Amino acid sequence: MGGLLYGVPRRGEAHFARYSARSGTMSAVLSSGYRNGLTRLHSRLRRGFTLVELLLVIGIISVLVGITIAALAPTKQLGTTRDAKRQADVNSILSAVYQFLVDEERLPPTIPSGTASEICATDSTDCDAAIDLDILTGSYLVRIPQDPQLPDASTGTNYWIVRDRSGRITVTAPGAEEAENISITR
């Protein structure tokens, strides 16, 4: 018959001492929890990392790399954003020209044929070298869009317009950053 368990182990000693009433002796016994803990610790040191631990580390590293890349390349992000605005501006100028054509049954008279010219900014007083499309403001455009990197006081828009021999209109944004050239023809 089993007896009472005594004691707290010291380093290097058995985990419990068992007293046997039948024989009157005490014997050292390792508890199953203590044995299992040693076995798990020993096998864990031998095996290495678990799959979950490896996936967790890979996930953390990939998040850190993504943050670093985003932090190091803001100019590319900003350039792409400005190019998207240029694309939208070119499209809105061309749409306004064609809405004017539908309403008035003619193109704005200032659009050049053969050679592209820069579009003048809205309400600019110095439009000698640029094309004045203020006729489109009010009904078709709130104001003539300007390139996002031009200062507000600029007289030009850095958007160019031309009519080819077949009567098709092309609006171009030569200041594109990520794309070589932004151009729409209708």
Q: Are residues 82 and 166 in the same domain?
A: yes
112 occurs within a structural domain? yes
Are 123 and 180 found together in one domain?
yes
65 located within any domain: no
* Within-domain flag for 53: no
**Running DSSP on this structure, what letter comes out for residue 121?**
P
- Show the domain range for 2: 1-47
- Do residues 130 and 156 lie in contact, with contact meaning Cβ atoms separated by under 8 Å? yes
Tell me, yes or no, whether 90 and 29 share the same domain: no
The CA distance from 7 to 103, in Å, is 102
The reply to whether 94 falls in a domain is: yes
Question: In a structure prediction context, what are the per-residue pLDDT tens digits for the chain, which is 186 residues long?
Answer: 444 445 555 555 555 555 555 666 655 555 555 555 556 655 555 667 889 999 999 999 999 999 988 788 788 888 889 999 999 999 999 999 999 999 999 999 999 999 999 999 988 877 777 899 999 999 999 999 999 999 877 889 999 999 999 999 999 999 888 877 899 999
